[in-house]
Amino acid sequence: MKNVSATLVMLFWSYLTLLGQAASPVRLSETYELANIILALTDYGKTDPWEVSQQSAYYQEVRTYFDAYRHHPLLSKVNYSRQQWQSYLSFRTDSYAFTFDESNHLVRKIAFSANSGFNPFEENLALIEDFVQTTRFRQFYTNHIPYYEGLASAYLVSQRYPEMLQFLEKELGKQSTLSSYAIVMSPLVGRMNCHRVVEGVGTDFITLPSFILTGKTLQTASQEEIASGTHMLFTELDHAFVNPMTELHQSLVKTHFSNQRWDTGSGYEKDSLATFNEYMTWAVYNLYVQHYFPSVAKKVSLDWAMQNETRGFYASNLFNKELEVMYQKRKAGQTLQDLYPNFIKRLGKLQNHVQKPVIQSSNLSDKNLADTVANFVVYFSEPMIKADSFDVIIATEKDGKISKERQVEVSKKQGLSWSKDGKSAQFTLHLVHGLNYVFFNVPWQTKTPLCAQTRVHLTPYSQLKTTVAPQ
């Protein structure tokens, strides 16, 4: 398999030397890679489209080499599901606490667990050791060390890690409780980045950007790819700064920020501060992108806001914009930590008026038409910003699957007009014969979303279904 280019590796070392960094913060972990390979070989790991990153040539090598051992009893024992995410994350992340001793036995080296009450890696040590011996995993890992090292080098160059730290320390203050920072990676991790403190070290278990996994270099990757790819490290690293700052102001958060008002089922809402922290880490990321990637910041911020809205953080656009406006109006010398109390209070003034906008009805929803020219009237749950244009995705269904998507800009050319109060819009679309789906606010595709006057986006993937009679 091709290694990341030598040029990129040399660039990495000169980059760190220039910035005075003594050593790479990346920690390559044999046991962490072991855990990720095991999970990638389970039925869940093979079939879930997001859990395991399957886009690299390395993934194919893993499958080719280890599929001969697909019936090993360990794989069925740890075949977790999306609903068992805590067990999955704990098995993967807790492996970092272990090492191989001189007898090739797995032993705990540090007292660390990712999720309280979950201990699946240690509970399966005997089966894991048998898997290691049966598959000759350690030799496989040794053979790929140059690849792992190359990924680490390319990753740090692309992430602007020193600038991240500098930005966060300037805006939110140095964290005296942490002795240092570390990054743990595997090319197989597809989702669930996480930040944990491991023996005083702020440690980020991250996902690698797609452009690195597919072999692109900084020279061939676009600014948008690079900027968007930094989210995986930044939004974990900044938890080490945001969370302590929130703790300092937790009484304000509990008074002025209600999880029930801001969270529609992310899973974070059970913790009094977690929903706020998740919103805040992404809002700070937007400020970072605006500073270092201004030419693509608007698109990157929109994409991630809409993605986070699908996770239950439905007011991401509003939250981000409020912090952005306050930051832009800050006084000379003020930083984010200076703005924190007033920003929390500002959210308290907004939250009683914030709710998730939805499509209430449409004249053509679930209707049958004789003609492909469809004159839509759409009614919304609250007043919308009367945009001059917005994007929709029109798709058809065949054999129960949605296909043949096309993006259409709805503007005055399509007869777009708004009611006086902004609660309804009418426009014309050209459909095709058969079942048509019209999607609004599609993450990663929509360029101009529909947004309520509260600056909360219309719920992503809102849709209308209309059927046109066959020819």
The whole-chain average pLDDT of the chain stands at 90
Does residue 12 register a pLDDT over 50? Answer: no
Structure tokens at 248: 């300092």
> What's the whole-number mean pLDDT along residues 163-175?
90
- Please report, rounded to a whole number, the percentage of residues in the chain having pLDDT higher than 90: 73
Of 304, 350, 268, nearest to 460 (Cα)?
304
Q: Give the pLDDT of residue 44.
A: 96
Structure pTM? 0.76
Query: What was the pLDDT predicted at 426?
Result: 97
Q: Does 7 have pLDDT greater than 50?
A: no
- Give the model's pLDDT for residue 197: 86
Interval 135-151 mean pLDDT: 96
pLDDT at 454 over 70: yes
Task: Write down the pLDDT at residue 157.
Answer: 82
The yes-or-no verdict on residue 37 having pLDDT over 90 is yes
- Whether 1 has a pLDDT exceeding 90, the answer reads no
Residue 330 DSSP code: P
pLDDT band at 206 (very low <50, low <70, confident <90, very high): confident
Does the structure show a pLDDT above 70 at 417?
Answer: yes
365 vs 359: CA distance, rounded Å: 10
Q: Which is nearest to 202 in space by CA: 235, 166, 177?
A: 177
pLDDT for res 200:
84
C-alpha to C-alpha distance for 14 and 19, rounded to whole angstroms: 9
Contact 231, 211 (CB under 8 A): no
The mean pLDDT value for 370-383 works out to: 97
pLDDT at 154 (0 to 100): 86
**Does residue 75 register a pLDDT over 60?**
yes
CA–CA distance, 133 with 135 (Å, rounded to integer): 6
DSSP 451: B
For residue 16, the model assigns a pLDDT of 35
Q: Average pLDDT, stretch 264-268?
A: 92
pLDDT at 469: 94
List CB contacts of 55: < 8 A, sequence separation 6 or more.
Answer: 210, 213, 214
At 161, the pLDDT band (50, 70, 90 cuts) reads confident
Where in the chain do CATH 2.60.40.10 domains reside? 359-468
Pair 210, 228: CB distance under 8 Å: no
Residue 397's pLDDT is 82
**pLDDT of 405 over the 70 cut:** yes
> Averaged over 64-70, what is the pLDDT?
96
Lowest mean pLDDT among 198-212, 248-262, 417-431: 198-212
Is the per-residue pLDDT at 22 higher than 80?
Answer: no
Count of residues making up the chain: 471
Cα-Cα-Cα-Cα dihedral of 446, 447, 451, 455, to 10°?
Answer: 120
Residue for token pair 């070392």: 13
CB atoms within 10 A of CB 149: 16
Per-residue pLDDT for 19 more than 70? no
Residue 65 reports pLDDT greater than 50: yes
Question: Does 17 have pLDDT greater than 80?
Answer: no
pLDDT of residue 177: 63
Q: What percentage of the chain reaches a pLDDT higher than 70? A: 94
Residue 270 confidence (pLDDT): 87
Q: Considering only CA atoms, which of 437, 441, 421, 420 is closest in space to residue 429?
A: 437
CATH match of 359-468 with 3.40.50.10470: no
Query: Are the beta carbons of 323 and 343 closer than 8 angstroms?
Result: yes
Res. 3: pLDDT tops 60: no
Q: From residue 64, how far is each of 45, 52, 146, 151, 332 by CA, in Å?
A: 15, 16, 19, 21, 58
Could you report the per-residue pLDDT of 216-244, keeping only the tens digit for each? 777 788 899 889 988 878 887 888 899 99
Q: How confident is the model at residue 315 (pLDDT cuts 50, 70, 90)?
A: very high
